């Protein structure tokens, strides 16, 4: 019974760790993407201001 519980906890821990890792990656990429988009629109605005 105890070994079953331990293996269950291990599996759940692995799944949670995997999901957290995927979520962190997606979060990081979305932040980088939004920053890039912001800088792109900012530089375009600068160009328009110069023109």
Position 38 scores a pLDDT of 85
> What is the domain partition of the chain in residue ranges?
1-51
pTM of the full predicted structure? 0.53
How many other β-carbons are positioned within 10 Å of the β-carbon of residue 36? 10
Terminal alpha carbon distance of the chain: 75
Tell which wins on pLDDT, 45 or 7.
7
Q: pLDDT by residue (tens digit) across 13-50?
A: 999 999 999 998 999 999 999 988 888 887 766 666 66
- C-alpha distances (whole Å) from 9 to each of 15, 22, 40 are 10, 20, 46
């Amino acid at each position: 019974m105890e070994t079953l519980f331990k293996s269950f906890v291990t599996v759940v821990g692995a799944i949670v760790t995997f999901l957290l890792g995927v979520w962190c990656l997606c979060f990081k990429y979305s932040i980088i993407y939004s920053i890039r988009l912001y800088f792109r629109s900012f530089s375009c605005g600068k160009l328009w201001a110069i023109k």
